Amino acid sequence: MTMDATRYTDGSISYPRHPRGPGGAEPVETIDLSEYTAEVVTWTTSTATPPGVREPNTLAIVEFTVEGESVRAIGQVTTDEVATGDEVRPVHVDELREPGAGIREPDSQAWDGYRFEPA
């Protein structure tokens, strides 16, 4: 499983992937962000989570630097011991939330994805 971002003709990087970049730039490359570490920009802990999501649920906005370009992502953190400036790495998990909890058609969604853990 990869954490795909897209580089565009103008050099910018987008996550998640989009068919067009800033100013209509064309995609030229796919970058797997799971091969990089990132820095925590900010974080929060939610104690009122949606059905099937762990409680409490710590989330972070992280910034990757790829060949001089930065790209941000948001996601769950594997621990509630996180601080701004921490270095984290993406780790793949099979279930970001409990499949089917509060979802009428559980088979209509993918449940896997990435969390960030301290590097």
The per-residue pLDDT for range 70-110, each reduced to its tens digit, is 999 999 999 999 999 999 999 999 988 777 776 667 676 66
Residue 64 vs residue 51, higher pLDDT:
64
The CA angle 107-111-115, to the nearest 5 degrees, is 175
Residue 87 parent element (H or E): strand 87-93
pLDDT computed for residue 74 by the predictor: 97
What pTM value is reported for the model? 0.89
